[in-house]
Amino acid sequence: RRHGAVEIRVADSGTGVPEAIREKIFDPFFTTKEVGKGTGQGLAICRDVVVTKHGGSLEVADNDGGGAVFIVCLPINDPAS
């Protein structure tokens, strides 16, 4: 829990996401894969579910140990309030 939200971080130790394409990776049909190897829908769908449907946020950043980290924040609906 963090400021009325739950935060989930998913990190890897790969090559990371270059700064030049970070704003584009959540766009529908954006892919860095060869033609026929990907549709570019995965992260666009994730963003739609997290941001549009649940009012959260989805970000990508550099992982301290190399690679990338995706940060998902979802608001907590506290039934007690």
What do you get for the CA distance between the two ends of the chain, in Å? 16
State the number of CA atoms in the 13 A half-sphere of 4 facing the CB: 9
State the pLDDT at residue 81: 53
> By the 8 A CB rule, do 16 and 69 touch?
no
Q: Quick one: CA dihedral 48, 49, 55, 58, positive or negative?
A: negative
Q: Quick one: CA dihedral 50, 51, 53, 54, positive or negative?
A: positive
Q: For residue 48, give its domain range.
A: 5-75
> By the 8 A CB rule, do 65 and 13 touch?
yes
Average pLDDT over residues 15-33: 91
Model pLDDT for residues 25-53, shown as the tens digit of each residue: 999 998 888 888 878 899 999 999 999 99
Question: Is residue 80 scored above 80 in pLDDT?
Answer: no
Q: Is residue 9 part of a domain?
A: yes
CATH number at residue 11: 3.30.565.10
Specify the number of domains making up the chain: 1
User: What pTM was computed for the model?
Assistant: 0.82
Average pLDDT over residues 5-10: 95
Q: Is residue 41 part of a domain?
A: yes
Q: Is residue 53 part of a domain?
A: yes
